[in-house]
Amino acid sequence: MTPARQLPDDAALESLLAFWADGGVDAMLLDAPFDRIEAGRILPPAPAARPIAALAPGPGTGPVARGQPDVSAAIAQAQALAAEAQDMEALAAAIAAFEGCPLRFEGAATKAVCWRGSLEAPLMVVGEGPGAEEDVQGLPFVGRAGKLLDKMLAAAGLADRVLITNTVFWRPPGNRTPAPHEQMICAPFLERAITLVRPKMLLLVGGASAKSMLKKDEGILSLRGRWFEWKSSDGAVELPAMPTLHPAFLLRQPGAKKRAWSDLLTLTERLDRPERPA
């Protein structure tokens, strides 16, 4: 008699689903066959414009009780504050005083989570957003995922050569992925940090970070391990950037660690490559 097949437990199923979701899979089985090759030959209709409800906030406005903030106004305010910061200390103060990002009043329990590491780092690590532990300590990547990231950086000889930050500076509610408009509002501060620190390259950790920084739609399993060029919004700064898997994903899928390690070794080799003579 054929022995009964043992079904995976809930934790294994959850981990497997998370693995495919991070890779961009949005459907397992459909009700009817679907010819994706033929569908790819048909141009989709242009999406209808979705105007953002403007609530006409003035400078220094506080939380918005209902609806979304005026994203354009919030970005303009962030750009003005970021441009005034002449060093990282002033930039951190500007972020702490900024009230234009809704995350400040939705998910964050304490204060802005800016960065940690060397302010003269040749490598800047950009994650997605703070989690619960980061919100408590006011520092990025200090939970389980952060400890794994630190071990990987140390093993690659990068422990004292990085500055670690995120695309947003306040914890999203329930540790959800930051929304694109939240990342857009925080982007001027992140760009100013890159300009002030002047790293040689960027390590983009996780799909939300890679998509936001590189303006790409592919999943992280497609983007990871490849070199891209990150450009500031004004085109004044251009840096090589490599996406890689988020350490939280690696905790769920330990078998993927070798791919993240390969990415890190590739990046380190380029970082340590001798400069070509002018």
Using DSSP's 3-state secondary structure scheme, residue 117 falls into strand
pTM above 0.85, yes or no: no
Smallest Cα–Cα separation from 195: which of 230, 222, 221, 160? 230
- Whether residue 52 has pLDDT greater than 70: no
- Whether residue 59 has pLDDT greater than 50: no
What is the domain partition of the chain in residue ranges? Answer: 69-271
Angular region, 198: left φ>0, alpha ψ -120 to 50, beta rest: left
Token pair listed for 127: 């994650």
Split at pLDDT 50, 70, 90, the class of 191 is: very high
pLDDT of residue 1: 52
Smallest Cα–Cα separation from 254: which of 25, 76, 27, 12? 12
Say how far apart CA 196 and CA 172 lie, in whole Å.
26
Architecture of domain 69-271: 3-Layer(aba) Sandwich (3.40)
pLDDT of residue 169: 98
Residue 71 CB: number of other CB atoms within 10 A? 19
Q: What are phi and psi of 125, to 5 degrees?
A: -100, 125
pLDDT of residue 65: 39
pLDDT of residue 38: 62
Lowest mean pLDDT across 35-44, 59-68, 243-252: 59-68
Burial of 10 (0-12, 13-18, 19+ CB in 10 A): exposed
pLDDT of residue 50: 39
Average pLDDT, the chain: 85
**The total number of residues written for the chain in this structure:** 278
User: Quick one: average pLDDT of 121-135?
Assistant: 96
pLDDT of residue 56: 37
Token pair listed for 218: 């592919």
pLDDT of residue 70: 83
* 236-269 pLDDT, tens digit each: 999 999 999 999 999 999 999 999 999 999 999 9
- Whether residue 64 has pLDDT greater than 60: no
